Amino acid sequence: MTRRFAGQVVLLTGASSGIGAELARQFAAEGAQLALAARDVDRLHTVAAECRALGADALVVPGDVSLEASCASIVERTVAHFGRLDILVNNAGIGSSGLFEEITDLTIFDTLMRVNYLGSVWCTAHALPHLKQSKGRLVAISSLTGLTGVPKRTAYAATKHAMAGFFDSLRIELDGSGVTVTMVYPGFVFSEINQRALSPDGTPFGDRGYIRRKGETMETDRCGRLILSAVAHRDRDLVMTWRGKIGRLLKLISPKLVDRIAKGVIETRQ
C-alpha cells in the first residue's frame, strides 16, 4: 500500500469524533504524524491510541478553536513537538437546526460563527507561516450548505458560506507560494455532529438529532477516503455527492429549482 502522507505532519481540529476521528485513523494508516486537537481530552486520547496502533506518532493537543489564544497554542504545541507542519485540516465544527423565527437563543449565531468560521481563520493565521516553509496544504471541511441556502440551517449555512468566501479568497492570495487550499463539501454524513447540533433554544439535540436514512447518508469511512484523495492531489475543492454536484450547476441555471429541492430534502428528513 502506498503511504501517501509518510512523514508529513498533520494538524487536525475536531479530531475526537465523527469525520475528524476517522480522518485521523486514515492519515495514520498512510504514514502521517498527527496532532489531534479538540476539547474532549478523554476521547482525543482514545483516537490517539488508535492512531499509534497504526504506527503513527500522535500528539494530543486539547484546545477550543472558538478562542484565538487556544488556536495559537494548538499550532505552537504542534510545531514544538514535530518541528514542522505540512497539513492543517480545519475540521472542528458544530451544527444547528430550526426555523429562524423559532430560534429563542440568538447566541447560537455567535457560537457557530466562532467555532466553524473564526476557529478556522485563527488556526489558519497561526499555521500559515509554517505551511509556507513546508509548501504545505490547507484543508477546510465545509458542507453543501456552504454552496447554497438550506432551510432550518440559517446559522450553520452562514458559517459555511463564510468559510467558502475566506478560503476561496485566500487560495488566490497564496498562488505561487506553494501552499494549496482544498475546500471539502460533504453532504449528509453519519456522524455525531447531529447529536451535538444546537436546537432553537440553544441546547444540543442529543438523540433527537441522530438521523440516518439508508442510501441518503454517507458513512464516515467513505467520506474520509474521499477527503484524503482530494488532499493528496491538492484538489481545489471536493463536492462529494451527485446531488451536490448537480445542485451546484443548477444554481447557475435555475436557482428557484435549487431552493425547492433544498426545501424538499429537509422536509423529508425532519
Going from N- to C-terminal start, the domains of the chain cover: 9-244
Distance between CA atoms of residues 228 and 55, nearest Å:
18
User: Are 130 and 79 within 8 A, CB to CB?
Assistant: yes
Among 222, 115, 135, 230, which Cα is nearest to 175's?
A: 135
What is the CATH class of 9-244?
A: alpha beta
Q: Supply the pLDDT for residue 209.
A: 46
Active site residue 156: yes
Residue 64 per-residue DSSP state: -
Q: Write phi, then psi, for 264 (nearest 5 degrees).
A: -65, -40
Distance between CA atoms of residues 62 and 48, nearest Å:
12
pTM attached to this predicted model: 0.88
Distance between CA atoms of residues 168 and 176, nearest Å:
15
Distances (CA, A) of 130 to 87, 196, 199, 218, 228: 10, 32, 38, 33, 21
User: Are 123 and 71 within 8 A, CB to CB?
Assistant: yes
Distance of CA 32 to the CA centre of its chain: 18
Among 87, 93, 85, which Cα is nearest to 19's?
A: 93
In order along its 270 residues, the chain shows pLDDT tens digits of 578 999 999 999 999 999 999 999 999 999 999 999 999 999 999 999 999 999 999 999 999 999 999 999 999 999 999 999 999 999 999 999 899 999 999 999 999 999 999 999 999 999 999 999 999 999 999 988 888 888 888 999 999 999 999 999 999 999 999 999 999 998 766 556 666 788 888 888 765 544 444 445 778 888 999 999 999 999 999 998 766 666 665 566 656 665 666 666 555 454
Q: Supply the pLDDT for residue 24.
A: 98
How many residues would you count in the chain?
270
Q: Supply the pLDDT for residue 236.
A: 95
- Please measure the distance between the N-terminal and C-terminal CA atoms of the chain and give it in whole angstroms: 42
Cell readout for 184 is 471539502
Q: Which amino acid is at 128?
A: L
Over residues 35-64, the pLDDT tens digits come to 999 999 999 999 999 999 999 999 999 999
Q: Which amino acid is at 114?
A: R
Distance between CA atoms of residues 134 and 108, nearest Å:
37
